[in-house]
Amino acid sequence: MEVLNPKLDLTLSHHSSFHSISSTTKHRASYPYRIHSLKINRIDEYCWGQSKNCASLGFRRLRVRSEKKLNDEDSNVVRLIKKDTSDRSSLIRSIGRGFVGFAVAAAAVISICSDPPALSESLTVAFPVSRAREVNTVQRTLVEAWGLIRESFVDPTFNHQDWDLKLQQTMVEMFPLRSADAAYNKISGMLSTLGDPFTRLISPKEYQSFRIGSDGNLQGVGLFINVEPSSGNLVVMSCIKGSPAARAGIHEGDELIEIDGERLDGVDGEAAAQKLRGRVGTTVTVKFHDVNTNLFLSGVKLSREFIKLSPITSAIISHKTPDGHPFKTGYVKLSAFSQTAADEMESAIQEMESQGVQSYILDLRNNPGGLVKAGLDVAQIWLDGDETLVNTIDRDGNLLPINMVNGHALTHDPLVVLVNEGSASASEILAGALHDNGRAILVGHKTFGKGKIQSVTELHDGSALFITVAKYVSPALHDIDQVGITPDVQCTTDMLNSPKESSSFLKDKSAVSSLEADSCIMVAEHELEIQKSKGSAS
């Protein structure tokens, strides 16, 4: 997950086992949107791969039916047959000229049907089955990936290449291989020719990690671990408060030595994390080096529990205005756009409203993005009416505004949004929505500049394909991709030595103290004071 950085994606996830946020939101049942398009009617649920909601978002679902048969006299000619019920003419293209002399080889026939009926077409891809079983599995993955790209990739020219011919070339290159890793590399090579770094295939393990980050829950012990480059040791990056690991006395900086008696020399962070995860109620035994006491502690049993990964941290900063009156600013840090992001932010805002907060700072710095619906739902917490949240541009160049429907903001207090070069994708959608609709002032540095939307589909082997399916621009039609959003007010990221006098509520005071020393937050507070003096939100 860390290698491919999937969080740097704005995603519409295709997987039937996920739950949409509309089914788990406590305070608001769902957030409806109006999308101006004949093909797309609503976006109030996630688009999972085999659900009917895919059709409502304009994505064509692919059903893959495969069978094996014994190839005979025609085995040296493998054909891709495309039957199209639209006005496009039929195409028969040979993809098997590179296969000669496989008269008795098995052949796989995969039929790909596209739904709904109005978009119906059938693709039949036949190819000799590799003698290596693991490569044969990847052959099917190749056809799945190729078909999904063909149906939904944002660039209909596929980076100015013949995409059907690319399948032929890749199948020819894959056939003689003997390992799955080598075969998967061929798929990655095919995808790289699209010229889009965000369209890619990730392994089943990487996809599981991505799902954990997206749905905000896991079954484990509450540790974030990674390999320390200089020593090669597995080091605890952070420990979730109240988790089994925290209760056992494991701290940030400690080194993991063994898991269930197995040494971790040469084991990477993801592999170690997989060993720590497991069913709730089971236990795992670890040995670790406590860096604070320099003791090696073995036989430490940790019980696996449901671990909630919250993307929200919040605090109330209380201080006095120049005229001596008390003033409370609510600070909310959003680290990622997971399925729980909007629900948790709504709870945080309601709690701070009950404590008399008069203005807000929303910190999106170093937030790399996440799920598209989460970003849209968070925007509605701050906006009223039928405002445009973002404009998408499909593969045909059609501009499709996504509007709220009768929105009601939780608060109308003045708002400043903090952004920097690490604010990407859904962060940029949210920042653009709040800024262009006159709801917030942006403070910080220019954002990353990722104006593309990805869909995510789990394939038959448990891997997942990320496909760029659309581009987006801000409500005011400002381009974001490779440009970013320039804030209204620049600030430095230096931490100042003498924070101003104040007190804090809600979260621990040490965290608030560090916030008060953040010069960007000081600039944000200054902007909020200006807004307050004007008597209205920006």
Kindly state whether residues 318 and 429 are assigned to the same domain.
yes
In a domain, 119, yes or no: no
Spell out the long-range contacts of 507-514 with Cβ–Cβ below 8 A and sequence spacing 24 or more: 507/313, 507/314, 507/315, 507/316, 511/313, 511/315, 512/315, 512/316, 512/317, 512/331
In a domain, 292, yes or no: yes
Q: Which residue has 């900063």 as its token pair?
A: 317
Nearest-angstrom CA–CA distance, 202 and 512: 39
| pLDDT for 345 beyond 60 | yes
Kindly state whether residues 528 and 436 are assigned to the same domain.
yes
Count each helix (H run) and each strand (E run) in the chain, helices first: 12, 28
The per-residue pLDDT for 122 is 59
Kindly state whether residues 300 and 361 are assigned to the same domain.
no
Of 365, 253, 359, which Cα lies nearest the Cα of 313?
365
Of 452, 472, 449, which Cα lies nearest the Cα of 399?
472
The per-residue pLDDT for 292 is 87
22 tagged catalytic:
no
Which residue among 293, 308, 323 closes a domain? 308
Tokens in use for 200? 């890619």
In 2-69, which ranges are continuous DSSP H helix?
53-56
In a domain, 361, yes or no: yes
pLDDT tens-digit map of 223-274: 878 787 778 889 887 788 889 999 999 988 899 999 999 999 988 787 888 8
The per-residue pLDDT for 150 is 95
Pairing of strands 415-419, 441-444: parallel
pLDDT exceeding 90 applies to what percent of the chain?
A: 50
Which residue among 278, 308, 338 closes a domain? 308
* β-bridge partners, 456: 13, 466
Pairing of strands 234-239, 326-334: unpaired
The per-residue pLDDT for 486 is 97
Kindly state whether residues 378 and 515 are assigned to the same domain.
yes
Kindly state whether residues 300 and 238 are assigned to the same domain.
yes
Indicate the range of 41-45, 59-63, 488-492 predicted with least confidence: 41-45
pLDDT tens-digit map of 485-517: 999 999 865 433 333 443 333 344 445 556 777
Mean predicted confidence (pLDDT) in 16-44: 35
425 tagged catalytic:
yes
Model confidence at 32, pLDDT cuts 50, 70, 90, reads low
On average, the pLDDT of the chain sits at: 76
pLDDT tens-digit map of 417-427: 999 998 999 99
| pLDDT for 45 beyond 70 | no
| pLDDT for 51 beyond 90 | no
Kindly state whether residues 423 and 474 are assigned to the same domain.
yes
211 within 8 A of 187, measured Cβ to Cβ:
no
Kindly state whether residues 275 and 318 are assigned to the same domain.
no
Q: How many CB atoms lie within 10 A of CB 533?
A: 9
Which CATH number does the domain housing residue 449 bear?
3.90.226.10
Domain count, the chain: 3
Which residue among 262, 283, 308 closes a domain? 308
pLDDT tens-digit map of 425-443: 999 999 999 999 999 999 9
pLDDT tens-digit map of 87-145: 333 333 333 333 332 323 344 555 555 444 344 455 666 777 888 989 999 999 999 99
The per-residue pLDDT for 357 is 96
174 within 8 A of 139, measured Cβ to Cβ:
yes
pLDDT tens-digit map of 188-227: 999 999 999 999 999 887 888 777 766 666 788 988 787 8
Kindly state whether residues 440 and 330 are assigned to the same domain.
yes
In a domain, 31, yes or no: no
pLDDT tens-digit map of 1-25: 222 222 223 333 333 222 222 222 3
Kindly state whether residues 327 and 428 are assigned to the same domain.
yes
Which CATH number does the domain housing residue 295 bear?
2.30.42.10
pLDDT tens-digit map of 296-338: 999 999 999 988 778 899 999 988 777 778 889 999 999 889 8
State the catalytic residue, choosing from 425, 455, 463, 504.
425
Model confidence at 54, pLDDT cuts 50, 70, 90, reads very low
Residue 188: domain span: 133-196
State the catalytic residue, choosing from 373, 450, 452, 471.
450
In a domain, 154, yes or no: yes
In a domain, 70, yes or no: no
pLDDT exceeding 70 applies to what percent of the chain?
A: 70
In a domain, 90, yes or no: no
Indicate the range of 36-40, 246-250, 521-525 predicted with least confidence: 36-40
Kindly state whether residues 259 and 383 are assigned to the same domain.
no
Nearest-angstrom CA–CA distance, 75 and 422: 53
* β-bridge partners, 401: 391
The per-residue pLDDT for 127 is 72
Nearest-angstrom CA–CA distance, 494 and 513: 15
Nearest-angstrom CA–CA distance, 471 and 10: 10
The per-residue pLDDT for 511 is 52
Kindly state whether residues 257 and 273 are assigned to the same domain.
yes
Instruction: Return the top range by mean pLDDT from 26-40, 267-281, 400-414.
Output: 400-414
Nearest-angstrom CA–CA distance, 198 and 454: 7
Kindly state whether residues 298 and 321 are assigned to the same domain.
no
Of 341, 521, 332, 349, which Cα lies nearest the Cα of 420?
521
In a domain, 79, yes or no: no
